Structure 1
Amino acid sequence: MAHLTRWGIMATGGIAKTFVLDLLKDPKTRDAADVAHQVVAVASSSSKDRAAQFLTDVGIPGSCAAYASYEELVADPNVDVVYIATPHSHHYQNAMLALEAGKNILCEKAFTVNVAQAKILCETARKKNLFLMEAVWTRYFPLSIQVRELIQQGAIGEVFRVLADTSFGDDPETKWGLESRMVNLDLAGGCLLDLGIYSLTWIFQTLYHTLPRDQRKPPTVTSQVTPYHLTGSDESTTVLLGFPTSTPNNGPHVKQSHGVALTSMRVGNDPDEKGTSGPPIRIQGDKGEIQVFGLPFQPTRYRIIPKKGLGEVRDAEFSFPANGRGMYWEADEVARCLRDGKLESEGMPWEESLVIMEVMDEVRRQGGLKYPESIESTQYPLQL
């Protein structure tokens, strides 16, 4: 019998809509007959009418509560897990609210604004025996899982370098108003936390996560940050990571592997939006290369290019069952973890989320990028 997980949705923006629409897809269409999902409550911080309109817009079947506050949502006894879809500036306060109410959590990325906040969330979840996971949906794609397995199997030898670019090529002056979450410092705006997290995701899941947990070591960090002249958020950030290991064997003669994470608002990794510029992700080993194509957060295919004389080029393409977006795979992971009594997912463990937050903290320190004290604070509760 399928394990049913009952979801409460915190916020009613675009990402919440995408997530819920995926939740409503039949799990059997993606060979996930062991789990089932039900949306039982939705909350808007602005009004009950907005939450009710969300129910109508998305077409949630059956009985689903609409709330005018997050406090009401986390108090609902029918909710097993809360999906936090608010701006990352508010994740710490929102997640603490849910944890204090005894709720399990799937929290959108970036996990928090800084590592100090993330550590408190993990400590609180552990103390209260609650499940907590950063919603890095890309990691649960079958494509991502296969790429990690190929690396661990030695398909391209020992991996020494990964390049990952998540850049949109927009004109921020005309595309975004000053209040947009993309550029507003009060919402932890900028490309690092919003887009760069995906570049870091590819570097970490290939150079860090592919090693046994006892061999994973945090990287050194060198970076450059270009501030957006109208708000001071970052419009372009480049990060060079030096890992004191390689993968998958971490041999005795290997000194280091490199990850290059790129993100920008003003230039794009796919300017004509036809893939002409090539793969945004390149994973390079001493016996070949894996290239990943499509949007870095929603890739659709990969290519293995063996070193000359070691085999033929192979391509693998992936579809999204039931015309979904791919967020259902992370929801299925949450359901299985809850079913099995786990507090964290092996695919995105707390320790790894914390190391990535530490990297972003260091990038901001090097670039002089600071957010308002209120959203950097670890004080709870704090009205934002």
Structure 2
Amino acid sequence: MAPIRVGIVGLSSKPGTWATLAHLPRLATSPNYQIVALCNSTLESTKAAIKAHHLPESTKAYDSYDQLAADPDVDLYVVSTRADTHYEVAMPALKAGRNVFVEWPLAATTEQAREMATLAKEKNVKTIVGLQGRMSPSVRKVKELIDTGAIGEIHSVNYQGAIHVWQKNAAGERYQYFMDRKVGANLLTIYGGHILDSIFYAVGELLPGSYTPMAANLRPKMHLLKDDGSLSEELYDKDTPDQILLQGKLDRHPRAVFSFHLRAGDRFIGGPGSTWRIYGTKGELVVEFASAGPQMAKATSIRFSNAEKGEIEEITTDEGGKKWTDLPTQGQNPGRLYEAYAEGRPYPDFDSAVQRHELLDEFWASMS
């Protein structure tokens, strides 16, 4: 099969940016893909990115979303920009009938997400949303253990995570936009959405009508923590949550109970960023991650307290070899998502994204 020809919006020439770490590494090395075009805010910045990343001279440079969307050589239009621009950037491609990949969250609002998903159906195009946590070998191992009955009947699922932002009771200057709900990218939408999607992929969806979400903004005004370590004198308004909770039941047999708590602020010193506990009739599975969620990096440990044997078992996962582990951590699960699309395996699409957006709206409603 010929490689899938990709046009990317938002690949900067600067090292360390998200698209450079998450999208470029696998796209540039996969036999299933070929980067044929880039689009940035100016033609100069687009050409600089082509040069910085040593892309072929034949790579087309654009400064217009419409021009990139109209390029007949682009099979997959990739949106890697800030959440509040996703709608604006993706709509020209959807209108042009291009297959589209958009980062999570799909849009700044659920209304925009629904409109994008509806248009995609009307145009009969394939869509991908960047909920890459379900591609994580660690998450898939948890799902395998549950699905094969290794843990027995599942009775409870508990997840606790601490997002390593808002240290010293201040908002990091780099993530100041997390404080503004209008941007669409914050602790609830990014971390909450990613983590909950990963959990539900592995253990099953919530039972409708059985759950109560809650979000709280306990720091409505915050100082900024500057890059030099100093604090701003002024306080800035924040209308996004720093405590995110959910309790309910899972749509399983028997109806397992579910408890979720995600918070901002300093982590327990020396402790994991998050802990996922799944209790079944054969024992308890405990999964720990260095970060707040499973979407970015593999679990630091997966242990099963085998009640039948009276011993703790260390569970290992197959990461797929050096072609994956040599990639930047940020690029491993997005890369696996790209390969699932190329190979026709299941992957999250815009309909998946709308489902998660609608759940997050229930958290927003709890803050009013």
The reply to whether TM is greater than 0.5 is yes
Give the corresponding residue for 2:339: 332
Give the corresponding residue for 2:326: 322
d(CA) in 2 for partners of 1:235, 1:136: 21
Structure 2 vs 1, CA of residues 92 and 164 (structure 1 numbering), >3 Å: closer, same or farther?
A: farther
Structure 2 vs 1, CA of residues 53 and 200 (structure 1 numbering), >3 Å: closer, same or farther?
A: same
TM-score after normalising by structure 2: 0.81
Instruction: List runs of 5+ in structure 1 lacking aligned partners.
Output: 28-34, 210-214, 338-344, 369-384
Structure 2 vs 1, CA of residues 174 and 132 (structure 1 numbering), >3 Å: closer, same or farther?
A: closer
- The counterpart of 2:188, out of the listed 186, 192, 210, is 192
After the TM superposition, which residues 157-172 of structure 1 pair with which residues of structure 2 at under 5 Å, given as runs?
157-159=152-154, 160-171=156-167
Maintained 8 Å contact 2:100/2:128: yes
Q: Does 1:84 align with 2:79?
A: yes
Structure 2 vs 1, CA of residues 208 and 95 (structure 1 numbering), >3 Å: closer, same or farther?
A: farther
Maintained 8 Å contact 2:108/2:182: no
d(CA) in 2 for partners of 1:94, 1:360: 23
Measured against aligned partners, the alpha-carbon deviations of 1:320-373 in whole angstroms (never above 9, x if no partner) come to 333343021111122224xxxxxxx733254432221111111111113xxxxx
Give the corresponding residue for 1:341: none
- Alignment RMSD: 2.7
- Which stretch shifts more, 142-151 or 295-304? 295-304
Q: Which amino acid aligns with 1:105?
A: V
Q: Which amino acid aligns with 1:220?
A: Y
Q: Does 1:232 align with 2:228?
A: no
Give the corresponding residue for 2:296: 298
d(CA) in 2 for partners of 1:298, 1:164: 16
Structure 2 vs 1, CA of residues 186 and 245 (structure 1 numbering), >3 Å: closer, same or farther?
A: closer
d(CA) in 1 for partners of 2:143, 2:178: 31
Q: Does 1:151 align with 2:142?
A: no
- The counterpart of 1:107, out of the listed 89, 102, 109, is 102
**How many equivalent residue pairs?**
334
> How high is the sequence identity, in percent, across the aligned residues?
19
After the TM superposition, which residues 274-313 of structure 1 pair with which residues of structure 2 at under 5 Å, given as runs?
276-278=270-272, 280-286=274-280, 287-295=283-291, 296=293, 297-301=295-299, 302-310=301-309, 312-313=312-313
Structure 2 vs 1, CA of residues 63 and 217 (structure 1 numbering), >3 Å: closer, same or farther?
A: farther
Structure 2 vs 1, CA of residues 279 and 15 (structure 1 numbering), >3 Å: closer, same or farther?
A: closer
Maintained 8 Å contact 2:180/2:240: no
SS of the residue corresponding to residue 289 of structure 1 reads strand
Maintained 8 Å contact 2:105/2:185: no
SS of the residue corresponding to residue 353 of structure 1 reads helix
Give the corresponding residue for 2:353: 353
Shift of the alpha carbon at 1:218? 7.4
d(CA) in 1 for partners of 2:173, 2:337: 29
Shift of the alpha carbon at 1:99? 0.3
Structure 1 moving runs of 4+ over 4 Å: 215-219
Q: Does 1:121 align with 2:128?
A: no
Structure 2 vs 1, CA of residues 126 and 18 (structure 1 numbering), >3 Å: closer, same or farther?
A: same
Structure 2 vs 1, CA of residues 352 and 166 (structure 1 numbering), >3 Å: closer, same or farther?
A: farther
- The counterpart of 1:74, out of the listed 69, 74, 79, is 69
SS of the residue corresponding to residue 237 of structure 2 reads coil
Instruction: List runs of 5+ in structure 2 lacking aligned partners.
Output: 222-235
Structure 2 vs 1, CA of residues 228 and 74 (structure 1 numbering), >3 Å: closer, same or farther?
A: farther
Shift of the alpha carbon at 1:82? 1.1
Maintained 8 Å contact 1:306/1:312: yes
